[in-house]
Structure 1
Amino acid sequence: MPNKAIIHSDKAPKAIGTYSQAVKVSNTVYLSGQIPLIPETMEMVDGDFRAQAEQVFKNLSAVCEAADGSLQSIVKLNIYLTDLSNFPVVNEVMSQFFQQPYPARAAIGVKELPKGAQVEADGIAVI
């Protein structure tokens, strides 16, 4: 496999399972799902859905930066929501972290997420 590297950032939560924060193959980075854990404490962020969504994007940003990229490097983003009525809030929060052109994206309703999170996001970045 060409140029496979494991990406790790201390500025993002440690893996809570058998996975890496991201894997880089050549110039493509496969980002594992991030939930709203605070990296330093590994506790869920206090607050409402908006606070959780903001923490998710901060965590994704830290992993992208560890791979020598940024959120703007993301070309495909998947967002998992336990309540699809939060879809408009996700859009508002995303507009604070991303600039146009936005990545391709899916919003997927799920029954539950690890540690009781309300939102999780993963993606693919090209560096």
Structure 2
Amino acid sequence: MFEKVETGIASSKAPLSATVKAGRIVRSAHIAKNPTTGEPITGDIETQARQVFLNLRQALEAAGGTLADVVQIQAYLTDKADAGGMNRIYREFFTAPYPVRATVVVDLLSSGIRLEVLATAVLSSSA
């Protein structure tokens, strides 16, 4: 059984929970969106990646954790040329030892969205 985490980030109109918690495990998915309005933030990959990881940090804090609890990241990019920019921003939020990460290039995400991230975290306690 799992519970939806109330993160303070505007909910999606789609039938989904952006962040859920099952015991010490937290799963969280993010695109670049304004956390207050839910409106997508478009622009270059660095702008979008920064917002994605800010939203992820907010979600994990709401679940009782931090970015240091992240053990895996699945990143979906719409352009392989964006990998370098995403990595620059990634290093602002994560340090060694880095989470396990798979980065996949996909044909399409939501309109104007260049990056979507799915993270798995293991909390140090059942916060």
What TM-score comes out, normalization by structure 2 length?
A: 0.90
Do structure 1's residue 63 and structure 2's residue 49 form an aligned pair?
Answer: no
What SS does the aligned partner of 1:108 have? strand
Q: Over residues 72-120 of structure 1, what are the superposed CA-to-partner deviations in whole Å (9 max), with x where a residue is unaligned? A: 1110100000001111111110000112111000001001112330111
Q: How many residues align?
A: 123
Give structure 1 stretches of 5+ with no counterpart: none
CA-based RMSD = 1.3
What SS does the aligned partner of 2:90 have? helix
What TM-score comes out, normalization by structure 1 length?
A: 0.90
Give structure 2 stretches of 5+ with no counterpart: none
Do structure 1's residue 23 and structure 2's residue 20 form an aligned pair?
Answer: yes
Q: How does 1:47-58 map to 2 (within 5 A)?
A: 47-58=43-54
Q: Is the 8 A contact 1:13 1:59 kept in 2?
A: no
Do structure 1's residue 75 and structure 2's residue 101 form an aligned pair?
Answer: no
Higher strand share: 1
Q: Percent identity?
A: 34
Q: Over residues 48-89 of structure 1, what are the superposed CA-to-partner deviations in whole Å (9 max), with x where a residue is unaligned? A: 211011001011111111110011111010000000111111
How many Å separate the matches in 2 of 1:100 and 1:15?
Answer: 32
